[in-house]
Structure 1
Amino acid sequence: MIPLTLLSRLQDKIEKECMKWANEGINIRYQIRATRVGYKAGALKEGLKHDYVKECEYVAIFDADFQPEPDFLRRAIPFLIHNPEIGLVQARWRFVNADECFLTRMQEMSLDYQFVIEQEGGSSIHSFFSFNGSGGIWRISAIDGAGGWNDRTTVEDMDLAVRAGLKGWKFVFVGDIEVKSELPSTFKAFRSQQHRWSCGPANLFRKMVTEIAKNKEVSIWTKFYIIYHFFFIRKIVGTMFTFFFYCMVLPLVSLMPEVDIPKWGAIVATFIIATINTIVATPRSIHLAVPWVLFENIMSFHKMKALFVGLFEAKRANEWVVTEKLGDALKNKSNEEPTTPKEPRRHNRFRERILVQELIIAVFLFACGCYGIFYGPDHYYIYLFPQAIFFAIAGFGLFGTILPSC
């Protein structure tokens, strides 16, 4: 989190910059709100209530760590001006710290896959895809027509996109327009972000499935696509299948030689498909295709836990934790006021990083691999040992950048 003194200085700097442009005749305003009610959805809703918004047709949305190019609006707005049925233009994200560590490289590969395979592919065939929450421009009439921003889940961007899609609005993804952003560098911050990104869609599915099914403004095919393909398969079944099959079923099969699962379909095809996807989405990381699959299997465990929290609306279903970025953390430390030395922390930072559940899974996979060496005819240990190592690394919190304690 940003200290109040630093936040105040940043606000002053932004306000002065806005005043400078206003003095040069640019129609620009500096606006903040006093509370965090509704979090991001609340802020977006509040921002559209002001009188001067009535003069506007479009709203561009960026998170605090996003850096659009100077010609972003000039390149994106024509899609909306010349196509009145389009409600959203989504730009592609690029990452300024993708080469910082192994964790950020894995994130780049996953997000590039989402942009190139899912969103650009979906946009090219005019099928529904979701707003990413940043780096996009909305037509204000599309927002109003869909009912505005809603803070009932932690994925207000997806919530609005689904409702706008049900109203018949079209979305376009423009991969040539890029916006720079920063990836979370610590494993703790990344897990927190993934919890929100997995829990939110599951919780939204729980709350909207009936509304989507009863909608009379779109075709049965569109409703089927959103419910079955977008939510059920991609957001729920895909995550559950990844963890249960690769981290539970295959290890157990190695303990039961009488059960036969073709290695071609179980493992080889998976890594071939991952390699092809990497070539298409992130060709510079082709050598990391295998580690990427192993890492995604780990994250499927975290996502699955979040998924159940969202589906059953458990305690953390609406938890909103701002994702800490390394740039913020380092700036915070350099701008903090000098304070008196504090007492040494009782708990070792290394102990705080330990994730017991991941270590248990690592031991389970390792044990299954050892059994397979002596008794398993299918050689699944070739996969089980690397996967066990990755779970162990995650269990000791060694993925990502380790921030200094002082």
Structure 2
Amino acid sequence: MRSLIFEEPEAGIPGYASSSLRYAWQSIRAPVIIPLLKLAVILCSIMSVMLFLERVGMAAIILIVKVLRIKKYTKYKLDAMKQAIERNKRYPMVLIQIPMYNEKEVYKLSIGAVCGFSWPTDRLIVQVLDDSTNHVLRELVEFECQKWMQKGVNVKYVTRKNRNGYKAGALKEGLEKEYVENFQARWKFVNSEECIMTRLQEMSLDYHFSVEQEVGSSTYSFFGFNGTEGIWRIQAIKDAGGWKDRTTVKDMDLAVRASLKGWEFVFVGDVTVKNELPSTFKAYRFQRHRWSCGPANLLKKMTKEILCCQICKI
């Protein structure tokens, strides 16, 4: 009898707790949870419709561009410009920067392509900004630069004692000469057939360049600068405030600030430049984290500037 008196309350505690949780859930489900879920469904439906309309609009624009062969950069008289340069022999000084960080797959291709550029060697400076942590790879990159220097190309191999600012810091330190145009080229990947992951990435990025970037350029709207294979006027970089390392998307950061200052970009999809895709899940995860968190952080920092700007067409 004594044991029963002490065991009954203990046995009743779990049932009491579960009934309390059930009561609490029922009390907040109807007035709180259900309205929140309905609101979430409505918001998701609205965003889905917006995304669908955006895709339909892009499809219509890209169809017109492909059928009529209208390219934004065709309005620039490139042939006349080339003839004027040949006639006056006034080649502007061009600085080509190649930022590198353990680029074992593409360093030879990148340096070779740039050093073979059809431009007077006395008006061309090639900067190889090597932040590689692999000392063996550093020696290989330096040897490649010396090989082209012996051929008469003005190549400067630049290293730093630290990686302050990462890629943006390297570009900022190396920026000295004037570029010729605001320009973005299309990427072509050297390792797209390495595995199924690189193949899927290539398909996704091909759509990004073939449709999203092409549509943005063709409609004279803002489109993001992808950071690689671009040509800038130094005045545009100066007007925008230069390279900044406040986010992991310094290329987009610079492009947004330049756009707010009234500068426009041209996408040239006919030109492809070789690039490398992350072939391991770890590298892919780091890249996607940078590409997703970086723009969100940039938006948080620049929301006020974008809303207050009178020039920007975003």
Task: Verify same fold: TM over 0.5.
Answer: yes
Of 218, 226, 248, which aligns to 1:154?
Answer: 248
SS in 2 for 1:37: coil
Alpha carbons 1:150, 1:156 under 8 Å: kept: yes
CA distance in 1, matches of 2:216, 2:138: 42
1:19 maps to amino acid:
M
The 1:154/1:3 distance shift into structure 2, 3 A limit, reads closer
The 1:98/1:7 distance shift into structure 2, 3 A limit, reads closer
Residue 42 of structure 1: aligned partner: 169
Shift of 1:100: 1.7
1:106 maps onto 2:183 in alignment: no
Residue 342 of structure 1: aligned partner: none
CA distance in 1, matches of 2:274, 2:154: 25
Gapped regions of structure 1 (runs ≥ 5): 59-76, 81-87, 226-406
Number of equivalent positions? 184
CA distance in 2, matches of 1:157, 1:129: 12
Shift of 1:3: 5.8
SS in 2 for 1:29: strand
Instruction: Indicate the percent of aligned positions where both proteins have the same amino acid.
Output: 60
1:10 maps onto 2:10 in alignment: no
Residue 401 of structure 1: aligned partner: none
The 1:141/1:11 distance shift into structure 2, 3 A limit, reads same
1:94 maps onto 2:181 in alignment: no
Q: Deviations over 1:193-219 (max 9, x none)?
A: 000010000000000001211224x15
Q: Deviations over 1:277-304 (max 9, x none)?
A: xxxxxxxxxxxxxxxxxxxxxxxxxxxx
Aligned-pair Cα RMSD in Å? 1.8
What are the residue-to-residue correspondences of 1:356-367 with 2, within 5 Å?
none
CA distance in 1, matches of 2:155, 2:137: 21
The 1:5/1:150 distance shift into structure 2, 3 A limit, reads closer
More strand by share: 2
Residue 178 of structure 2: aligned partner: 57
Shift of 1:109: 1.1
Residue 259 of structure 1: aligned partner: none
CA distance in 1, matches of 2:221, 2:295: 18
Gapped regions of structure 2 (runs ≥ 5): 1-101, 103-131
SS in 1 for 2:191: coil
Of 182, 200, 203, which aligns to 2:276?
Answer: 182
Alpha carbons 2:142, 2:157 under 8 Å: kept: no
2:303 maps to amino acid:
V
SS in 2 for 1:30: strand
SS in 2 for 1:170: coil
TM-score calculated relative to the size of structure 2 = 0.55
Alpha carbons 2:217, 2:223 under 8 Å: kept: yes
1:37 maps to amino acid:
N
Shift of 1:191: 1.1
CA distance in 2, matches of 1:179, 1:123: 18
2:285 maps to amino acid:
R
Of 148, 151, 158, which aligns to 1:31?
Answer: 158
1:140 maps onto 2:234 in alignment: yes
1:132 maps to amino acid:
N
2:140 maps to amino acid:
L
The structure with the larger Rg is 2
CA distance in 2, matches of 1:8, 1:172: 34
Higher RCO, 1 vs 2 (CA within 8 Å, ≥6 residues apart) = 1
SS in 2 for 1:179: strand
SS in 2 for 1:168: coil
Residue 169 of structure 1: aligned partner: 263
Shift of 1:179: 0.4
Alpha carbons 1:91, 1:175 under 8 Å: kept: yes
Shift of 1:181: 1.3
CA distance in 2, matches of 1:19, 1:198: 40
2:207 maps to amino acid:
Y
Residue 341 of structure 1: aligned partner: none
Shift of 1:116: 1.2
Shift of 1:29: 2.6
